[in-house]
Amino acid sequence: MTDSETIAVAMSGGVDSSAVAAMLCAEGRNVIGLTMQLWNQRRLAGHPGMPESVQGRCCSIDDVYDARRVAETLGIPYYVVNHEERFERDVVRPFVEEYLAGRTPIPCSLCNNHLKFDQLLIVARQIGADHVATGHYAQVAFDEQRHRWLLKRPVDRSKDQTYFLFGLTQEQLSRTLFPLGGMTKPEVRELARRCGLVVADKPDSQEICFVPGGDYKSFLEAYLNEQGSAPTRISGDRISGEMISTKMLAGEMVTTDGKVIGEHAGVHNFTVGQRKGLGVATGSPLYVIQIKNDTKQVVVGKNEELYSRTLHACRVNLIATDEVREPMRVAVKIRHRHEPAPAIIEAAGPDDVLVTFDEPQRAITPGQAAVFYDGDIVVGGGWM
Amino acid sequence: MPRRVYLDNNATTPVLPEVLEAMRPYFGERFGNASSIHHHGQDTRAAVERARESVAALLGCRASEIVFTSGGTEADNLAIFGLVREGDHVIASTIEHHAVLNACKHLGKDKDKDEKARCEVTYIPVDGRGLVDPADVKRAIRPNTKLITIMFANNETGVLQPVAEIGKIAAEADIYFHTDAVQAAGKIAIDVNDIGCDLLTISGHKVHGPQGVGALYIRKGTDLEPMLYGGSHERARRAGTENVPGIVGLGKAAEFAMEGFKIGEDTKTATMRDRLERELLEIEATGLNGSDLNQERAPRVPNTTNIYFDGIEGESLVIALDLKGLAVSTGAACSAGAIEPSHVLTAMGLRQDRAKASIRFSLGKQNTAEDVDFALGLIPETVARLRELSPVWARKVVSR
């Protein structure tokens, strides 16, 4: 990449991506700010269980306003691009479907794969920017020996977002910049303050951008309610006409030895490893061990029963290598806030990998990702 | 600073230097409140009334029939909410500007979930060329129809609606007829008596006047309730101290619009638009929005053309061209600034992807043949680059 090349910065209106734009401007790069409009926050407002109004969230007018103000401060061209349709198709619907099937989805990974590093990159290239820079905490570098682009963990481990980026292809990585990979969050805020950015002290966003207040159950209800009353325009949908009520997700609560001990109001209320809110009282603490999609049964048991030594990762994307030829020693992370655990990975099919941990791991959760690390390097990852 | 060419005059037009000069004193030494009885008030009152006469001359009506507003949206709202009462029926078209469309939607809203809607609104569809059929309007009339509101020229396609025929139908049925002429004013000659309308909206900034001022023609004898209550400004039809500089600017702009017709500016604009259109349509897989399958074109204002470029996102093309110095537009921007597919083009039967692949080019008094050359120099190569990088286009090319 040459210094005169144009870089598109994916600006969310938050401090991280704003700091990225400021840094690249300070380096004298030719910068264009882009914000993706992904979800109309007013769309489900007023549906049962949803707040009447939504403020200060991703895709809210406030965030676009902030991003625009930052772009003005920096004197860079700035545009909002509408990707609502793709976002609903590739992120929101799969998110809903996963919960309906008793799994626990990660929409951020899907958004990265299908929107930020796909649609946005296409727009960026179309308007003359060959690279996209984002405010993710991760590092990308070309490795001469392997002749591959590598994704690495950032200097600020507490902010590591590589877990959500394991799906990036070599082509995508070759066109991506993560300027914050070498910085800590306090340094980023300090930089934003020094540059006089209005968002320097804006709180971090914590939750899923399209789910107000983090209440995913209300979101599911409201979305299904809306879909039931207004047929969607999106074709090829997998949410069939009959699947429009969460009432159909209710079923039995059973123990690991098959004893029915109660009923539950819907598999979407549960995640593997969950202890609270099971609605059954027994002598010893109970945890969700498994959610059976076909029978809608929620299997509960003791904490010990949550541990497992192996897992199967499918739809695997490899970054540091083109294939897993022989068993490989790695560390595997099975949820965002999980310390990578030593394990061996081996090929189990064209896109599948078998992971065998040295020590059993707690709550391997369908719908989440297993991401393989070799030290700081992301080897790849797949879906559980 | 790179060269910048502005071909988005249906969004807004640059204020003519003469208009700016005419307005300038009213921001400074000529500051009086037009309602005051002293010298200062008399001075600005005279300026407001001169402007009213200029606007009346542009529309072929009496000065007393002009009410100044804050713009086209307010004028549209005043026409609709000033006339329509509970229980009334309204006829509009599906391609109205949002100022009319959303006002009608509000009329049609349930007051309360248990009660019936305040008013019913019939939306007349358009054909593939973007034209309303007057026969459809006639058929939609009911005993309680109070108002027909159909625009004169569409903002996105420039297509002229058969307003004179609709005016006749309205007059025969003794129904009020309002037309939003924001996109027609200054582009083609307007005479309210030829149209036979009772109410007509224009906007200052679409005719090389300033933003923040508009006017509503209200035929004498039309019983209109005001929307704003306050002083008895504008013959008690629109309360609030007059925006004197804005009104003066609108008046001056109206004079220049009249002058333009005299010296044949509209023909000159049409020539430039036609050349732009002809050459853009030579690009592969493009087409004109506003013509049907037999290539029959609807009558249009002379400054507008709307063209689809298959296989691209209009949004990306607008951004790419803007970065190279050419300002054009697509669809309508939502509050966040993202672009949504045009309701006008989808009402004309365009597929979603084609509506999103459509670009509006609109010329103004300031544009020259060199501006058209500049646009024609940029667009083909930019469209080619976009298509090269478009997954949709790649699939299409492979399948051919």
Q: What are the pLDDT digits (tens) for B125-147?
A: 999 999 999 999 999 999 999 99
Same structural domain for residues A57 and A123?
A: yes
Q: Judge whether A224 lies within some domain.
A: no
Q: Which residues, in sequence order, are bridge partners of residue B333?
A: B339
Q: Which residues of A are catalytic?
A: 111, 209
**Lowest mean pLDDT, pick from B1-5, B239-243, B297-301, B365-369:** B1-5
Instruction: Give pLDDT, residue A59.
Output: 55
What letter represents residue B76's amino acid? D
Instruction: Spell out which residues of chain B touch residue A37, defining contact as CB-CB under 8 Å.
Output: 334, 336-338
Contact call for B323 and A61, based on CB within 8 A: no
The reply to whether ipTM tops 0.95 is: no
- Residue of B294 and A139 predicted with greater confidence: A139
Tokens 């300070």 sit on residue? A26
The arithmetic mean of pLDDT across residues B352-379, rounded, is: 96
Domain termination site, one of A301, A328, A360: A301
Of B313, B320, B335, the CB nearest to A128: B320
Instruction: Give pLDDT, residue A63.
Output: 87
Q: What is the CATH number of the domain that holds A131?
A: 3.40.50.620
- DSSP 3-state of A135: coil
The answer on pLDDT for B312 being more than 90 is yes
The answer on pLDDT for B169 being more than 70 is yes
Counting Cα atoms < 13 Å in the Cβ hemisphere of A117 gives: 25
Q: Judge whether A126 lies within some domain.
A: yes
Give the integer Cα–Cα distance in Å for A16 and A66: 12
What share of chain B in percent tops pLDDT 70? 94
Tokens 């007509």 sit on residue? B200
Of A32, A64, A123, the CB nearest to B336: A64
The arithmetic mean of pLDDT across residues B318-331, rounded, is: 94
Those residues whose C-beta lies under 8 Å from the C-beta of residue B265, and which sit 6 or more positions away, are B365
Same structural domain for residues A87 and A195?
A: yes
Catalytic residue among B61, B104, B119, B334: B334
Instruction: Spell out which residues of chain A touch residue B312, defining contact as CB-CB under 8 Å.
Output: 126
What digits encode the pLDDT tens for the residues B69-80?
999 999 999 999
Q: Judge whether A82 lies within some domain.
A: yes
Active site residue B334: yes
Of B323, B334, B340, the CB nearest to A127: B323
| pLDDT band for position A241 (cuts 50, 70, 90) | very low
Chain A residues with at least one Cβ partner in B under 8 Å? 32, 35, 37, 59, 61, 64, 68, 77, 79-82, 84, 122-123, 125-128, 233
Same structural domain for residues A259 and A286?
A: yes
Q: What is the CATH number of the domain that holds A290?
A: 2.30.30.280
Q: Is A186 exposed, middle or buried (0-12, 13-18, 19+ CB in 10 A)?
A: exposed
Chain B residues with at least one Cβ partner in A under 8 Å? 312-313, 315-316, 319-320, 322-323, 334-340, 352, 385-386, 389-391
Q: Look over chain A and give the mean of its residue pLDDT values, rounded to a whole number.
A: 90
* pTM of the entire predicted model: 0.90
Residues A266, A99 contacting (CB under 8 angstroms)? no
Instruction: Give pLDDT, residue B2.
Output: 78
| pLDDT band for position A233 (cuts 50, 70, 90) | very low
Instruction: Give pLDDT, residue A230.
Output: 46
Closest by CA position to A138, among listed A90, A187, A173: A173
Instruction: Give pLDDT, residue A236.
Output: 39
Domain termination site, one of A286, A301, A316: A301
The answer on pLDDT for A40 being more than 90 is no
- What is the sign, positive or negative, of the torsion defined by CA atoms of B242, B244, B245, B247? positive
The arithmetic mean of pLDDT across residues B246-269, rounded, is: 97
The CB density around residue A38, as the number of other CB atoms within 10 Å, is: 26
Of B312, B336, B391, the CB nearest to A37: B336
Instruction: Give pLDDT, residue A48.
Output: 72
Nearest CA in chain A to B356: A82
Domain containing residue A261: 250-301
Instruction: Spell out which residues of chain B touch residue A233, defining contact as CB-CB under 8 Å.
Output: 352
Nearest CA in chain B to A121: B389
The arithmetic mean of pLDDT across residues B356-374, rounded, is: 97
What digits encode the pLDDT tens for the residues A128-165?
999 999 999 999 999 999 999 999 999 999 999 999 99
Nearest CA in chain A to B339: A82
What digits encode the pLDDT tens for the residues A309-356?
999 999 999 999 999 999 999 999 999 999 999 999 999 999 999 999
Instruction: Spell out which residues of chain A touch residue B342, defining contact as CB-CB under 8 Å.
Output: none
Give the integer Cα–Cα distance in Å for B293 and A149: 50
Those residues whose C-beta lies under 8 Å from the C-beta of residue A156, and which sit 6 or more positions away, are A137, A183, A184, A185
Instruction: Give pLDDT, residue A226.
Output: 84
Give the integer Cα–Cα distance in Å for A58 and B58: 48
The answer on pLDDT for A195 being more than 90 is yes
Please count the structural domains in chain A.
3
Q: Look over chain B and give the mean of its residue pLDDT values, rounded to a whole number.
A: 94
> How far is B328 from chain A, CA to nearest CA, in Å?
14
Same structural domain for residues A279 and A316?
A: no
Instruction: Spell out which residues of chain A touch residue B392, defining contact as CB-CB under 8 Å.
Output: none
Residue among A39, A79, A120, A171 with most chain B CBs within 10 A, to mutate: A79
Domain termination site, one of A214, A239, A273: A214
Instruction: Give pLDDT, residue B117.
Output: 64
Distances (CA, A) of A169 to A120, A148, A173, A181, A203: 15, 10, 6, 19, 31
Residues B218, B78 contacting (CB under 8 angstroms)? no
Same structural domain for residues A254 and A191?
A: no
> How far is B327 from chain A, CA to nearest CA, in Å?
13
Contact call for B389 and A125, based on CB within 8 A: yes
**Lowest mean pLDDT, pick from A55-59, B23-27, B95-99:** A55-59
Contact call for A127 and B316, based on CB within 8 A: yes
Same structural domain for residues A273 and A323?
A: no
**Lowest mean pLDDT, pick from B95-109, B112-126, B244-258:** B112-126
Same structural domain for residues A28 and A101?
A: yes
- Residue of A262 and A212 predicted with greater confidence: A262
Instruction: Give pLDDT, residue A235.
Output: 37
What digits encode the pLDDT tens for the residues A102-116?
999 999 999 999 999
Contact call for B338 and A128, based on CB within 8 A: no
Same structural domain for residues A357 and A254?
A: no
Same structural domain for residues A199 and A332?
A: no
Those residues whose C-beta lies under 8 Å from the C-beta of residue B122, and which sit 6 or more positions away, are B89, B90, B91, B92, B140
> How far is B194 from chain A, CA to nearest CA, in Å?
43
Nearest CA in chain B to A122: B389
Q: Which residues, in sequence order, are bridge partners of residue A347?
A: A353
Tokens 């039931």 sit on residue? A228
> How far is B336 from chain A, CA to nearest CA, in Å?
5
The answer on pLDDT for B334 being more than 80 is no
Instruction: Give pLDDT, residue A284.
Output: 81
Contact call for A82 and B320, based on CB within 8 A: no
> How far is B352 from chain A, CA to nearest CA, in Å?
10
> How far is A85 from chain B, CA to nearest CA, in Å?
10
Q: Judge whether A237 lies within some domain.
A: no
Instruction: Give pLDDT, residue B337.
Output: 67
Same structural domain for residues A261 and A379?
A: no
Residues B311, B392 contacting (CB under 8 angstroms)? yes
Instruction: Give pLDDT, residue A60.
Output: 67
Q: What are chain B's domains?
A: 5-13+264-399 (3.90.1150.10), 17-260 (3.40.640.10)
The answer on pLDDT for B387 being more than 80 is yes
Instruction: Give pLDDT, residue B293.
Output: 65
| Number of CB pairs, chain A paired with chain B, less than 8 A apart | 55
Residue among A127, A130, A169 with most chain B CBs within 10 A, to mutate: A127
Q: Judge whether A243 lies within some domain.
A: no
Same structural domain for residues A71 and A196?
A: yes
DSSP structure class, residue A306: G
Q: Judge whether A186 lies within some domain.
A: yes
> How far is A78 from chain B, CA to nearest CA, in Å?
9
Contact call for A80 and B337, based on CB within 8 A: yes
Instruction: Give pLDDT, residue A279.
Output: 75
Nearest CA in chain A to B332: A82
| pLDDT band for position A237 (cuts 50, 70, 90) | very low
- Residue of B351 and A231 predicted with greater confidence: B351
Same structural domain for residues A297 and A192?
A: no
Q: What is the CATH number of the domain that holds A315?
A: 2.40.30.10
